[in-house]
Amino acid sequence: MRVLGIDPGTMVTGYGVVDDINGKLSHVTHGTIEGRRKDSFPDRLKLIFDGLNKVIEEYKPDSIALEEVFYGKSVKSAIKIGEARGIAILCTASANIPMAEYAPTVIKRAVVGSGNAQKVQVSEMVKVILALSEAPEKFDASDALAIAICHCHRSKLMI
């Protein structure tokens, strides 16, 4: 099973692809889709749309996992993240790929063992789980890999 994890954001959207072959997880790719502050909001959403579609087309995931909206910051930022999530959901639906969503605490618990883990802890555990030589440079990418890892673990429980 190949899983694409997506950490949606309007300035930076992280993605990570993980293969699960008989319970052994392996890293395929990860990265970020980054807008610029001077870009208009619609242009940033289009950048996310085009970037995710390119990743989906190139890596052909069997399923896609997203982080659910996190309410803690502000209503305005939650709405903007919701719009980026909408783009990710549209890409998923357009490609006709099954999708799952996980709360941030569920993702952290699946990767670190604690729902209150910090980003650096998540990044280090992603490095260990996927046997990477170094942790991803950006937390958005390591978070996306963590989402994919979480889905690999959780999907076994749902069978």
Of 67, 124, 134, 143, which is the active-site residue?
A: 67
Of 34, 39, 124, 140, which is the active-site residue?
A: 140
- Calpha distance 76→78 (Å, rounded): 5
Instruction: Please provide the DSSP assignment of 67-89 as one string.
Output: EPPP-SS-HHHHHHHHHHHHHHH
Q: Cα-atom radius of gyration of the chain, to the nearest Å?
A: 15
**26 Cβ neighbours under 8 A, 6+ residues apart:** 18, 19, 130, 131
Residue 6's φ and ψ, nearest 5 degrees, are -130, 130
Helix (H) or strand (E) holding 7: strand 2-7
Of 7, 19, 62, 101, which is the active-site residue?
A: 7
Q: Is 67 a catalytic residue?
A: yes
- Calpha distance 112→115 (Å, rounded): 8
Q: Is 7 a catalytic residue?
A: yes
- Calpha distance 34→12 (Å, rounded): 5
The residues annotated as belonging to the active site are 7, 67, 140
